[in-house]
Structure 1
Amino acid sequence: MQSDRISKIQHHLYSNGFANVQELAEATGASIVTIRRDLQRLEEGGIVTRTHGGARLAEAAGPELAFQARVQEQVEAKRAIADAALALLQPHSTVFLDAGTTVLQLARRLRVEPMPLTVFTNGLAVAQELVNVDGVTVHLLGGQLRNENLSVVGPTAERQLGDLWFDQLYLGTSAVHDDVRMYTLHPAEASLNQVMLRRTSQAVVLADSSKFGGRAPYAVAPVTDAHTLITDARLDTGWTDRLAELEVAATLVPLGRTP
């Protein structure tokens, strides 16, 4: 309960910048006394800065909480997609897991149901999730740390990829535009994703239905470059028809409830 409440406080402050104690109490359903105690603990941990009557996020906490906020978006769909992706993993193979939040859910599933794998990743959160998982050997790319996505990018990472080959690549995306290409939010991320796609013969794209028709500035590749696309059954029929016309091997996983 305390962990859930702390998370709600953090996300409320991330979304609103500042909140007074009464607002946080209403947002969490906790008492004002409890909220004040929570804020004291968060301030001691360097997460928030308390001000008269309320609090705001400490400056250094923003990027990490931005990532955590994305982790919580469309979480039901991401978990269902991860379940389907887990079934495609082959024991004793070498795979690359990118830094996306849907791929992170796959790493969490692998932690619950481990198998012998060699995993390469550019995602700090993915690597951390797989620490001490039985049978899984983890290699983390070197390069420039992109704080907003907890990912490693840049020329050093790209050179490392050039010396590697993967049985499978599991790749997320920020958006699939109407031109049926995948896009991302940062040019270095797009460049690294392009190299990833060249270093495997089996690219598995994990993208929940909210990504389709979305917007992001930097193109990665056409969806047709995917060997397999896994999304959720909320994808509208216009998109399912387009994917079928392009002969994209798409798996639509069912969800437990409708939107």
Structure 2
Amino acid sequence: MKDDRLSAIRQHLYARGFCTIQDLADAVGASLATIRRDLQVLEDEGVITRSHGGARIASGADVEVAFEVRERQGLAAKRAIAAAAYDLLKPHGSIFLDAGTTVLQLARLLRMHPMPLTVFTNGLLIAQALMNVPKLKVSLLGGQLRNENASIVGPAAEAMLDRLWFDQLFLGASAVADDACVYSMDAAEASLNARMLTRSATAMLLADSSKFGRCTTFLVTEIAPPLGVISDEGLAASWRTRLADIGAPVIVAPLAGTNAAAKDDLADA
């Protein structure tokens, strides 16, 4: 409960900037005394700065909080997509898991229900989620750390990819624009993602419906066979038709497709 409350306080401060102690108490449903104790913990950790009867996110801490906020956005849809992706896994194969927040949900599901796999990733949090999991052999790419996404990118990571081959790639996305192309917010991330696609026999884009119709700066790839898409029930009919016309395999994951046990497992992960 305390960890959940601290997380809620961090997210509230990240989304709204400076907040008074009363604002935070109302937002998380706790007493003023409890909020003061929580703020002391967060201040000791260097996450927040307190002043004038309130608090704000400390300079330099917003990167971690930003990832946490993104991870929790559309969480039910991401978990449904992860469950659909899990059903595609083939035991004894080699897979690559991108550093996206939806792919992280797949990694957490794989931790709860492991199978014999050789796993490669450029995501620090994904590698951490799969530590000490029986049946899994996990390798992390080397290279430059991109703090904003807790990911490894750059020439060294791309050179390592050139020496590898994967049966399956599970790729996240910052945006899928109206030109039916996948885009990233970072040039190095986009370049690495594009390289992943050349090193995999099959690839699935894990993108919740909120990512469609948006655009960011750096092109990753056009959606076209053999790249497939797993999204959620919120995916507009126009996009479903367009992807079908392109010939890209599409899986629409119903929220009910994530069984109760898997939901509970992921919540505890």
TM-score norm. by structure 2 comes to 0.93
| 5+ residue gaps, structure 2 | 257-269
Corresponding residue SS for 1:202? strand
Question: Are residue 247 (structure 1) and residue 247 (structure 2) matched?
Answer: yes
The Cα of 1:60 is off from its aligned counterpart by: 2.6
Amino acid of the structure 1 residue aligned with 2:45:
G
Corresponding residue SS for 2:255? coil
Amino acid of the structure 2 residue aligned with 1:137:
K
Instruction: Quote the residue 1:193 is aligned against.
Output: 193
- Separation in structure 2 between the aligned mates of residue 190 and residue 181 of structure 1, nearest angstrom: 12
Instruction: Quote the residue 1:78 is aligned against.
Output: 78
Corresponding residue SS for 2:166? coil
Corresponding residue SS for 2:224? helix
Match runs of 1:1-259 below 5 Å: 1-256=1-256
Corresponding residue SS for 1:235? coil
- Separation in structure 2 between the aligned mates of residue 179 and residue 60 of structure 1, nearest angstrom: 35
Runs of 4+ more than 6 Å apart:
none
Corresponding residue SS for 1:201? strand
Amino acid of the structure 1 residue aligned with 2:199:
R
- Separation in structure 1 between the aligned mates of residue 143 and residue 152 of structure 2, nearest angstrom: 6
* CA deviation string 1:32-64 (max 9, x = no partner): 111001001111122112213011112231111
- Separation in structure 1 between the aligned mates of residue 84 and residue 212 of structure 2, nearest angstrom: 19
| 5+ residue gaps, structure 1 | none
The Cα of 1:146 is off from its aligned counterpart by: 0.5
- Separation in structure 2 between the aligned mates of residue 62 and residue 139 of structure 1, nearest angstrom: 28
Instruction: Quote the residue 2:267 is aligned against.
Output: none
- Separation in structure 2 between the aligned mates of residue 252 and residue 16 of structure 1, nearest angstrom: 34
Corresponding residue SS for 1:115? coil
Pick which of 115-124 and 54-63 moved more: 54-63
- Separation in structure 1 between the aligned mates of residue 31 and residue 9 of structure 2, nearest angstrom: 13
Amino acid of the structure 2 residue aligned with 1:224:
A
Contact 2:225–2:247 (CA under 8 A) maintained in structure 1: no
Contact 1:48–1:56 (CA under 8 A) maintained in structure 2: yes
The Cα of 1:225 is off from its aligned counterpart by: 4.4
The Cα of 1:227 is off from its aligned counterpart by: 3.4
Corresponding residue SS for 2:133? coil
The Cα of 1:226 is off from its aligned counterpart by: 4.4
- Separation in structure 1 between the aligned mates of residue 8 and residue 92 of structure 2, nearest angstrom: 40
Q: Percent identity?
A: 56
Contact 1:164–1:199 (CA under 8 A) maintained in structure 2: yes
Contact 2:96–2:168 (CA under 8 A) maintained in structure 1: yes
| Aligned positions, number | 257
Contact 1:171–1:203 (CA under 8 A) maintained in structure 2: yes
Corresponding residue SS for 1:239? helix
Contact 1:47–1:57 (CA under 8 A) maintained in structure 2: yes
* CA deviation string 1:201-224 (max 9, x = no partner): 201111111111012111111111
Between 1 and 2, higher relative CO (CA 8 Å, sep ≥ 6) is seen in 2
- Separation in structure 1 between the aligned mates of residue 7 and residue 211 of structure 2, nearest angstrom: 25
- Separation in structure 2 between the aligned mates of residue 136 and residue 44 of structure 1, nearest angstrom: 37
- Separation in structure 2 between the aligned mates of residue 247 and residue 194 of structure 1, nearest angstrom: 20
Contact 2:225–2:249 (CA under 8 A) maintained in structure 1: no
Contact 1:205–1:226 (CA under 8 A) maintained in structure 2: no
Amino acid of the structure 2 residue aligned with 1:79:
R
